[in-house]
A and B are shown apart, each in its own frame.
Chain A
């Protein structure tokens, strides 16, 4: 069997469908749901970093905008969650455009610091002006669609992974289209893609906005799942976590973002038995991964599998 995106997509979908039959506890399903939410942010960052070659340390900002806008609209304006979610994505897209126009003139480390600053600003705004301030607020309605409320963990698990697979299909199509080729070309030689007629600044802004929209979608799904949010979930630490997911999974492959998200989400849970040393073990595992699998797990596994074939 060939390792094509289509085959991975089908295999992955089957695993998602049957997983709840094996791991039935709501604890494991809940972790799987958080993996899905993190995947959404990571896929966006993967498009931005792995394909457009732009670093962002501010994805938690867009994640936070998604969660807060969606929650506030659904609570105070009584907007159906699906519309609140769409407005949240639009709000995130607009803030990404405002950030991108000045920030994308910067490169490498400077861009990373600028986006980090943006993330921190959003975090401070949520702390100071967000409902409930630093302690956050609750009573956020669960996600519902056409009167159907996603009440149980299993329903939410399927909902969030369904969204991930749609976003994934969208992103794979995009990467293999004229748009994606132009993005990848910027990564290889910006001067040549410009000379071939690619409007590089505009394309970078589009990729940035896309990553912000995916993060906001994740934020909205998160808020309507946990039903209680506070600014601490949208701090720099979250941005760094997402960056780690993308790097561990493999920056050059969209599936790496998903695999990385699952690993980074599950790892702390597996390390519970190390008690207060868990952070230490966590750190060591990450350093080892980056040392020995510096391309990221997914590209390495695919390389190995392709060598096995006759």
Chain B
């Protein structure tokens, strides 16, 4: 579904990513792990079009998407969440989801301004679909509250809800468990699996919480200082000598 080929990215003199290649199969949860500064978020930003790679290509469903702007990539079916939550803070919880529906609706400026029947019908559909998504992520009771007033756990949920409102086939999650407590994290792991199994969404997950990663991933890519260190199933990664030295540490108990 997603081919990453020889991706290299420089920031000034710094090489953020060097010659990264891997392939994400449809219908799986692929985790990208690595120490801070390994280039994980940079890679997500390249896939979602925020950065253009200096070398290499990204192909999504056979289509080359490097040098494509983020909104077109969203249209192609890739959505994402952010490491530092980027909700629309002054809008309500429901409205945040409704913005996600923007992409899949088409009423024009005049139709909206004069509230033509076509626009009104579409608006009702947007509302209905968004309410359904709120129900799905379990935030219906917060519908009319400002997004900025939510606690971090619900903020992260809402970000995922907003992302699935765009009907993605590939969802990029950037550290969705950061800031969550243990209960919320296990809740999240259940929810991510549900997205894969019920909604058929392929997921790329950047995460530091090793328990979550090892629990839900089908495949793992390990980055270290912008280079690819290893790739494999959770089992393989946990037994990989290179990965243990560089990242997981000698004492596996601490991380697992």
Is residue B89 contacting chain A, with contact meaning CB distance below 8 A? Answer: yes
Task: Enumerate chain B interface residues (CB-CB to A < 8 A).
Answer: 48, 50, 69-71, 74-75, 79-80, 82, 86-91, 95, 98-103, 105, 107, 109, 112-115, 119, 122-123, 126, 162-163, 165-166
Q: List 7 A–B pairs whose Cβ atoms lie within 8 Å, in order of A's numbering.
A: A171-B113, A174-B113, A177-B107, A178-B123, A184-B91, A188-B91, A192-B87
Task: Pick the contact of A178: B70, B88, B98 (CB < 8 A).
Answer: B98
Q: Contact check, A174 vs B109: say whether CB atoms are below 8 A apart.
A: yes
Q: Contact check, B90 vs A188: say whether CB atoms are below 8 A apart.
A: yes
Is residue A180 contacting chain B, with contact meaning CB distance below 8 A? Answer: yes
Q: Contact check, A196 vs B91: say whether CB atoms are below 8 A apart.
A: no
A-B contact count (CB 8 A): 101
Q: Which residues does chain A contribute within 8 Å of B126, judged by CB atoms?
A: 178
Q: Which residues does chain B contribute within 8 Å of A206, judged by CB atoms?
A: 109
Q: Which residues does chain A contribute within 8 Å of B79, judged by CB atoms?
A: 195-196
Q: Contact check, A182 vs B113: say whether CB atoms are below 8 A apart.
A: no
Task: Pick the contact of B95: A181, A195, A199 (CB < 8 A).
Answer: A181
Smallest CB-CB A-B distances: 8 pairs:
A197-B103, A197-B74, A177-B112, A192-B86, A188-B88, A170-B113, A194-B70, A189-B86
Q: Contact check, A184 vs B102: say whether CB atoms are below 8 A apart.
A: no
Closest Cβ–Cβ distance, residue B68 to chain A (whole Å): 12
Is residue A98 contacting chain B, with contact meaning CB distance below 8 A? Answer: no
Q: Which residues does chain B contribute within 8 Å of A287, judged by CB atoms?
A: none
Is residue A95 contacting chain B, with contact meaning CB distance below 8 A? Answer: no
Residue of A179, A191, A206 with most partner-chain B CB within 10 A = A179
Question: Nearest CB to that of A202 among chain B residues?
Answer: B71
Q: What is the number of residues of chain A that contact chain B, defined by CB distance less than 8 Å? A: 27
Is residue A173 contacting chain B, with contact meaning CB distance below 8 A? Answer: yes
Q: Which residues does chain A contribute within 8 Å of B105, judged by CB atoms?
A: 178
Closest Cβ–Cβ distance, residue B167 to chain A (whole Å): 10
Is residue A210 contacting chain B, with contact meaning CB distance below 8 A? Answer: yes
Closest Cβ–Cβ distance, residue A10 to chain B (whole Å): 17
A276 to B70, CA, bound (A): 56
Q: Contact check, B112 vs A198: say whether CB atoms are below 8 A apart.
A: no
Is residue A265 contacting chain B, with contact meaning CB distance below 8 A? Answer: no
Q: Secondary structure of the A side of the interface? A: helix
Q: Contact check, A170 vs B91: say whether CB atoms are below 8 A apart.
A: no
Is residue A113 contacting chain B, with contact meaning CB distance below 8 A? Answer: no
Task: Pick the contact of A191: B86, B95, B101, B166 (CB < 8 A).
Answer: B86
Is residue A159 contacting chain B, with contact meaning CB distance below 8 A? Answer: no
Task: Pick the contact of A170: B86, B90, B114, B166 (CB < 8 A).
Answer: B114
Q: Which residues does chain B contribute within 8 Å of A181, judged by CB atoms?
A: 91, 95, 98-99, 102
| With contact pairs A188-B88, A197-B74 given, residues A210 and B80 touching in the complex (Cβ less than 8 Å) | no
Task: Pick the contact of B50: A177, A191, A200 (CB < 8 A).
Answer: A191
| With contact pairs A178-B123, A181-B91 given, residues A196 and B113 touching in the complex (Cβ less than 8 Å) | no
Closest Cβ–Cβ distance, residue B18 to chain A (whole Å): 25
Question: Nearest CB to that of A180 among chain B residues?
Answer: B112
Is residue A187 contacting chain B, with contact meaning CB distance below 8 A? Answer: yes
Q: Contact check, A197 vs B102: say whether CB atoms are below 8 A apart.
A: yes
Is residue A239 contacting chain B, with contact meaning CB distance below 8 A? Answer: no
Q: Contact check, B109 vs A194: say whether CB atoms are below 8 A apart.
A: no
Is residue A232 contacting chain B, with contact meaning CB distance below 8 A? Answer: no
Q: Contact check, B113 vs A173: say whether CB atoms are below 8 A apart.
A: yes
Is residue A39 contacting chain B, with contact meaning CB distance below 8 A? Answer: no
Identify 19 new A-B residue pairs, CB closer than 8 A, beyond the known A182-B102, A199-B69.
Answer: A170-B114, A173-B112, A174-B112, A177-B115, A178-B112, A178-B122, A179-B107, A179-B109, A181-B102, A184-B90, A188-B89, A189-B88, A195-B86, A196-B103, A196-B162, A196-B163, A196-B166, A197-B74, A198-B103
Q: Which residues does chain A contribute within 8 Å of B103, judged by CB atoms?
A: 196-198
A198 to B90, CA, bound (A): 17
A210 to B109, CA, bound (A): 10
Q: Which residues does chain B contribute within 8 Å of A170, judged by CB atoms?
A: 113-114
Residue of B71, B90, B119, B165 with most partner-chain A CB within 10 A = B71
Q: Contact check, B71 vs A194: say whether CB atoms are below 8 A apart.
A: yes
Q: Which residues does chain B contribute within 8 Å of A30, judged by CB atoms?
A: none
Q: Which residues does chain A contribute within 8 Å of B100, judged by CB atoms?
A: 196
Is residue A59 contacting chain B, with contact meaning CB distance below 8 A? Answer: no
Q: Which residues does chain B contribute within 8 Å of A179, judged by CB atoms?
A: 107, 109, 112
Residue of B69, B99, B101, B119 with most partner-chain A CB within 10 A = B99
A196 to B165, CA, bound (A): 9
Is residue A185 contacting chain B, with contact meaning CB distance below 8 A? Answer: yes
A51 to B105, CA, bound (A): 20
